[in-house]
Amino acid sequence: MSDMQQAATSFWNDTGKTGLTSWIFSTDHKRIGLLYFYTTIGFFLVGVVLGLLLRIELMAPGRTIMGPQTYNALFTVHGVVMIFLFIIPGIPGAFGNMVMPIQIGARDVSFPRLNLLSWWLYIIGAVIILTSLFSGGGAPDTGWTFYVPFSSRTGTNVSLAVFGVFIVGFSSILTGVNFVTTIHRLRAEGMTWFRLPLFTWSLYATAWVQILATPILAITLVLVMAERVLGTGLFDPTRGGDPVMYQHLFWIYSHPAVYIMILPAMGIVSDIIPVFSRKPIFGYKMIAFSSLAIAAAGSLVWGHHMFTSGMSDTAVVVFSFLTFIVAIPSAIKVFNWISTLYKGSISLEAPMLFALSFILLFSIGGLSGLILGAAATDVHVHDTHFVVGHFHYVMFGGTGFAIFAAMHYWLPKFYGRRYREKPAIIAWGLMFTGFNVLYFTMQVLGMRGMPRRYYDYLPEFGPLNLVATVGSWILAAGLILMLVNLFRGLFWGEPFVGNPWGGATLEWSVATPPPTENFEGEPVATHGPYDFSGVKK
């Protein structure tokens, strides 16, 4: 099939509909996926700019470019935007929507209109959150965790911001419901559970967490609003309330939310590594089950955020123990990825480089997490830059780099054009270097006692903070190069036809870009997702 013919029959134009409304009211999972992609990546860039400003403020002791109130607002908004508007919806909303239905041999998700509603709820929630920054008492300054009693008393616009997060939560629940139903009901003939690609498995595990945990966040945020507006006193000890209970409720959702963020990223890596190693994945079933195990066990460890909150010693011991249990399925994944690489025919193209960096950065993040999960050592580093470094290793080095891997791996499939490899590799090198200079330095700073969420610090922390800020600039330079190269390639680059990566999952068997209904006939799965015999690159 020639390039022109392919373009004429793809989802970009085969319905004959064009213009903005053909996108924002489309029920095609690929279009909704791209809507999610561009909106989440837009918010990611907003978050990056805020993060860079925070680093400039911390470049030298004392006031550099902003005062304490602005700093408090900026780190709050940076957290809210990055977590609720980028990482949580990022992979399921964008790549889950684009890729998962094709991977299981379906024409769309089970509830296409609900899918569109989910994107609209996300946009409405995002607009409300953005409105909260410029209305009422101004941008919230509580940190993304909205801890009481401060969040119930501060004059900033916390009520509107948490209402926005509440709405975004519903978007997440709807995506979860849609994906669970789709994976149960719409698998093609021959697509048994153990022929599902691991990316789909990870989305399935994630969807359950989205369905079961997100309502708790929604209720908790309603309680914060009730506390502020009605003065209910639920979290106020002078009226019989309990501030620690807020932390329980918040983390019952927000720790599983970490797994909503990381599990689909692990799925991406599990799909990319076999393709670029030309080997079936090692331990398929163990990776699939470990996703479910992480989802289940990860929902029971929220108390490790609260070791210094005044929680009972019994709870500290129980939650610390359970935290160590989550390390087991996480390590199973890492060992299986490494075993897949062993004696593979590895090609180091951009998706693979990002996927490999995921393994390293996630491992560093995971192991530093054990220092925080152990109650005794946590007391030493709690609320320091060590924690900030740790979760950026997991969330950015893990999920962020996996999203970059997915962007290089799957977006050419949906655009029919590809990026240039050399600039992509240079960009990866810059980002990998900048990332480690920035966040490893943060971990060292934290170990030395530099607290988080302070706009100023003792002069002895000056040199390392300067190093970290320079790291943030290297990271940003790499990011700009990566995005320019990627989007330039997607719109004007070389054609991407056939199956250049040599993937064996179903999305590589359909036309590039795929037609609206994905498959010409009824697809039949005849082999596993990582059976590369007979796959031509």
Q: Using the rule CB under 8 A, is 293 a contact of another protein? A: no
Using CB under 8 A as the binding rule, the residues of this chain from 378 to 417 that contact another protein are none
489-501 burial, b at 16+ Cβ within 10 Å, e below that, comes to bbeebebbbebeb
CB closer to another protein, 318 vs 327: 318
CB closer to another protein, 244 vs 327: 244
CB closer to another protein, 105 vs 303: 303
273 CB-side CA count, 13 A:
31
Q: Using the rule CB under 8 A, is 212 a contact of another protein? A: yes
CB-based contact 376:242 (threshold 8 Å): no
Q: Closest separation between CB of residue 317 and another protein, Å? A: 9
Six-digit token pair at 342?
């062993």
C-alpha span between 297 and 213 (Å, rounded): 13
Return all residues near 321 (Cβ < 8 A) that are at least 6 apart: none
Q: Closest separation between CB of residue 315 and another protein, Å? A: 4
Query: Which residue in 507, 510, 504 sits closest to 527, CA to CA?
Result: 504
CB closer to another protein, 159 vs 247: 247
DSSP state of 417: E
Q: Which range touches another protein (CB under 8 A), out of 93-101, 286-294, 296-304, 490-498?
A: 296-304
Q: Which range touches another protein (CB under 8 A), out of 196-204, 297-305, 375-383, 443-451?
A: 297-305
Amino acid at 235: F
Alpha helices in 58-157 (DSSP H): 68-80, 88-89, 97-103, 112-134, 150-153
Triad 304, 213, 381: Cα angle to 5°: 20
Instruction: Find the radius of gyration of the CA atoms of the chain.
Output: 23
CB closer to another protein, 31 vs 248: 248
CB-based contact 417:495 (threshold 8 Å): yes
165 CB-side CA count, 13 A:
33
Residue owning tokens 């996480």? 330
Interacting residue with another protein among 59, 318, 325, 483 (CB under 8 A): 318
Using CB under 8 A as the binding rule, the residues of this chain from 251 to 280 that contact another protein are 252
39-61 burial, b at 16+ Cβ within 10 Å, e below that, comes to bbbebbebbbebbbbbbebbbee
Residue owning tokens 């800020």? 469
Q: Closest separation between CB of residue 91 and another protein, Å? A: 23
Residue owning tokens 């400039």? 56
Interacting residue with another protein among 299, 363, 512, 516 (CB under 8 A): 299
C-alpha span between 105 and 182 (Å, rounded): 11
Q: Closest separation between CB of residue 532 and another protein, Å? A: 35
Using CB under 8 A as the binding rule, the residues of this chain from 336 to 365 that contact another protein are none
Helix then strand count (H, E) for the chain reads 19, 2
CB closer to another protein, 326 vs 437: 326
Six-digit token pair at 170?
């519903």
Q: Using the rule CB under 8 A, is 320 a contact of another protein? A: no
Q: Using the rule CB under 8 A, is 315 a contact of another protein? A: yes
Distance of CA 154 to the CA centre of its chain: 29
Site string for another protein, 216-255 (x = CB under 8 A): x---------------------------xx--x---x---
Q: Using the rule CB under 8 A, is 314 a contact of another protein? A: yes
C-alpha span between 375 and 30 (Å, rounded): 45
Triad 404, 273, 108: Cα angle to 5°: 65
Angle separating helix axes 243-277 and 198-229, nearest 10 degrees: 160
Q: Closest separation between CB of residue 240 and another protein, Å? A: 13
Using CB under 8 A as the binding rule, the residues of this chain from 105 to 144 that contact another protein are none
Q: Closest separation between CB of residue 247 and another protein, Å? A: 10
Q: Which range touches another protein (CB under 8 A), out of 298-306, 380-388, 442-450, 484-492?
A: 298-306
Q: Using the rule CB under 8 A, is 303 a contact of another protein? A: yes
- Binding residues for another protein, rule CB under 8 A, total 18
CB closer to another protein, 200 vs 214: 214
CB closer to another protein, 163 vs 250: 250
Q: Closest separation between CB of residue 116 and another protein, Å? A: 24
Q: Using the rule CB under 8 A, is 24 a contact of another protein? A: no
Triad 252, 254, 255: Cα angle to 5°: 75
Q: Using the rule CB under 8 A, is 300 a contact of another protein? A: yes
Q: Closest separation between CB of residue 414 and another protein, Å? A: 32
Q: Using the rule CB under 8 A, is 176 a contact of another protein? A: no
CB closer to another protein, 297 vs 364: 297
Triad 405, 408, 410: Cα angle to 5°: 95
CB-based contact 362:394 (threshold 8 Å): yes
CB closer to another protein, 215 vs 451: 215
Cis before 513 (ω within 30): yes
Q: Which range touches another protein (CB under 8 A), out of 17-25, 209-217, 414-422, 523-531?
A: 209-217
Return all residues near 315 (Cβ < 8 A) that are at least 6 apart: 303, 306
Interacting residue with another protein among 2, 238, 313, 345 (CB under 8 A): 313
CB closer to another protein, 304 vs 390: 304
Q: Closest separation between CB of residue 300 and another protein, Å? A: 6
Q: Using the rule CB under 8 A, is 177 a contact of another protein? A: no
Q: Using the rule CB under 8 A, is 286 a contact of another protein? A: no
Q: Give residues in contact with another protein (CB under 8 A).
A: 211-212, 216, 244-245, 248, 252, 299-300, 303, 310-315, 318-319
